[in-house]
Structure 1
Amino acid sequence: MANNQNQLLAQGMTFGELTQEDVTTIRQTLAKDCNDSQFKLFMSIAKSSGANPVMNEIYPAVRSGQLTVQFAVEYFVRKAKESPGYAGHDVQLVHDNDEFKMHQEQDEEGRYYAVIDEHSWAFPRGKVIGGYAIAYREGKKPFTVVMEVDEVEHFKKSNIGMQKTMWTNYFNDMFKKHMLRRALKAAYELNYDDEVTVGEAQGPGNQDEFQQNRRDITPNQDVIEHGNSKPDNNPDQQQEQKPSKVDELKSQMKSLFTQLGITTNDGIKEYLKKHAPDVNPGTQKGLIAINQLLEMHVEMQQAQSADEDALD
């Protein structure tokens, strides 16, 4: 019975090279901890971004009832390879006993960039103390990310079980992936968040509310809060009825559609039918999910526009 339900749920979720059988397999394995709504949202994000779960480019995690959608470094590598001017990348760890020297230079526009002068080693190399990743792009200076181990040690103390486990047991690999992701994102204007967290609020009477937290995997987190506008100092205006959270989300959705160049009702309906067929735009939960997809498409459009400008 459960298998039949998964097969029915998988209908309409195929995209790219993913077959319905693939989607069913994803539901039973990678997304086994998701409820049906979370699975639909995860697949909508995967489809919208073009990230393939079967190729380990994107995967879901559920913690305390919250869905976190994570993009793997493999996704950013593929997007970089698909970008104009891709010329490869490199990532290395620096150990205690390595010979390592670097300096900074300025390009024609006055921007600084790092240059590795020397990196040589012999065994034993000692423990890892830092590292660097370089993203190469035709017609541009190499983009280099240089980091010390201290900058990522906090991941070993993460309250996210899997993240803590991976950084503790596979530190070298995780450190290299972290640096490479940052270098590729910067060099190729890949404006995608490493993680998108969407989960149900737990407060009484707010079971339909969602909290969104978009964050890059760095010490800093940019938390997007809905409905926390500051009160106006005018007493008369304070007495006026404030717009509901749903109204604010609808206004945000309209603005995002405008940024995408979609300004007609038919265009909006076509977009929702294509990208969010199972999401109800009449609910707060649905509006937040739709706005999340819209924001991702706006970022993708901006990245594409930046690439086109660079080629002019």
Structure 2
Amino acid sequence: MANNSIKQYTPEITEAFKPEVLEVIRNSIAPTANDQEFLLFAHKAASYGLDPFKNEIFFIKYGNTARIQFAAEAYLSKARTQEGFQPPDTQMVHENDEFKIAMNKETKEMEVVQHEIGFPRGKIIGAYSIAYRDGHRPVTVIMDIEEISHMFTGQNKDNWNKWTADMFGKHVQQRALKKQYGLEFEDETITHGEPEGSIPEYKQERRDITPNQEIIDAPKQTKQEDKPLTPTEKARADIKNKFKILGIHDKEGQEDYLAKNAPDLVGKKLNLSQLTGLADLMDMHIELQAATAADADSLD
């Protein structure tokens, strides 16, 4: 059970949550949070009117780095409180559907003009969400599944592969609601005890490597194809794959990433535990990339 030594909460927190509810949130939803982290987490939830029990806001901890992250459900919850709210229409597009989009000559925006389905529908190839609001033009966001291909190999890949329609629908709906209602949530990353960009240390087998070379190279091919990879080789391969997910494909970009996010690794030899820590740091950035994908919408 978390040790709660917070003596005073902000007015927003005390107004939104009863003491016994805060205790449950602290012990069940953010058990690894220290006092400062939990205070910020509770304040953000209270200020935005979000419910941690409904998975509208999350607390995630990686070593000495904590992250407060807003879920797609947060956008729908907040949109419901806005004047003129109407439920959005979010649909999957399958390969056998009759689907067409066209430019509205008046608004100069792309709109869905035909979507007819039959069975079997085939695989999901895209999705769209139309955010309605009284007194405003509908906002339509349309996405090809290739735009979110990285989700199927990222940290949350199991959910994306198992519940594709649900995850994809929430993702595109979040974009539409954000644009229609002017919603903007800012995720928060908190680092304690180490300089920003440092990585958590793990107690595992150690084996030194040179980060500017081997860390970003795939394991070299051996003559014995069935020879198993060592833990360090597996760690390097994992990191190389995570760079691809982050859209970093050359050594210059990889070195820039290290200099910006893990400067304490530059020019040093890394043991296996540090490689594993770096992989976890990259996982956090991959998750951040997924959560903030709406910011990349060219219609913004």
TM-score for both structures, normalised by structure 2: 0.59
| Change beyond 3 A, Cα 1:145–1:99 | same
What amino acid does structure 2 have at the position aligned with 1:42? F
Q: Distance in 2 between matches of 1:15 and 1:82?
A: 21
Instruction: Tell me by how many angstroms 1:124 deviates.
Output: 1.3
Aligned to 1:73: 72
Equivalent of 1:199, from 191, 203, 225?
191
Q: Distance in 2 between matches of 1:219 and 1:191?
A: 23
Q: Identity over aligned residues, as a percent?
A: 34
| Change beyond 3 A, Cα 1:170–1:10 | farther
Aligned to 1:189: 182
Q: Distance in 1 between matches of 2:53 and 2:135?
A: 34
Equivalent of 2:128, from 132, 135, 141?
132
| Change beyond 3 A, Cα 1:136–1:16 | farther
Task: State how many pairs are aligned.
Answer: 200
Aligned to 1:251: none
Aligned to 2:218: none
TM-score for both structures, normalised by structure 1: 0.57
- 1:118 matches 2:111: no
Instruction: Tell me by how many angstroms 1:113 deviates.
Output: 1.7
Aligned to 2:45: 46
CA RMSD in angstroms comes to 2.8
Contact 1:10 1:20 in 2 (8 A): no
What amino acid does structure 2 have at the position aligned with 1:171? T
What amino acid does structure 2 have at the position aligned with 1:38? E
The superposition leaves residues 10-57 of structure 1 with CA deviations (integer Å, 9 ceiling, x where unpaired) of 863644452211111111111123233221221122223222212322
Instruction: Tell me by how many angstroms 1:117 deviates.
Output: 1.2
Q: Distance in 1 between matches of 2:170 and 2:105?
A: 27
Contact 1:80 1:86 in 2 (8 A): yes
The superposition leaves residues 75-118 of structure 1 with CA deviations (integer Å, 9 ceiling, x where unpaired) of 211221211222221100001111111101144xxx52222111
What amino acid does structure 2 have at the position aligned with 1:198? I
- 1:101 matches 2:94: no
Q: Distance in 1 between matches of 2:188 and 2:195?
A: 21
After TM superposition, the structure 1 = structure 2 runs for residues 1-312 of structure 1, keeping only pairs within 5 Å, are: 2=1, 5-6=3-4, 8-9=5-6, 12=9, 14-107=13-106, 111-158=107-154, 161=155, 163-193=156-186, 195-200=187-192, 202-203=194-195
144-153 or 45-54, which moves further after superposition? 45-54
182-191 or 62-71, which moves further after superposition? 62-71
Q: Secondary structure at the match of 1:79?
A: helix
Q: Distance in 2 between matches of 1:174 and 1:132?
A: 13
Contact 1:11 1:20 in 2 (8 A): no
Contact 1:10 1:23 in 2 (8 A): no
| Change beyond 3 A, Cα 1:10–1:131 | farther
What amino acid does structure 2 have at the position aligned with 1:19? K
| Change beyond 3 A, Cα 1:15–1:134 | farther
Unaligned runs of 5+ in 2: 200-244, 248-259, 261-300
Q: Distance in 2 between matches of 1:35 and 1:165?
A: 29
Contact 1:69 1:196 in 2 (8 A): yes
- Structure with more relative contact order (C-alpha pairs < 8 Å, separation 6 or more): 2
What amino acid does structure 1 have at the position aligned with 2:118? A
Contact 1:61 1:67 in 2 (8 A): yes
Contact 1:90 1:135 in 2 (8 A): yes
87-96 or 53-62, which moves further after superposition? 53-62
Unaligned runs of 5+ in 1: 208-217, 221-227, 229-312
What amino acid does structure 2 have at the position aligned with 1:176? G
Contact 1:46 1:58 in 2 (8 A): yes
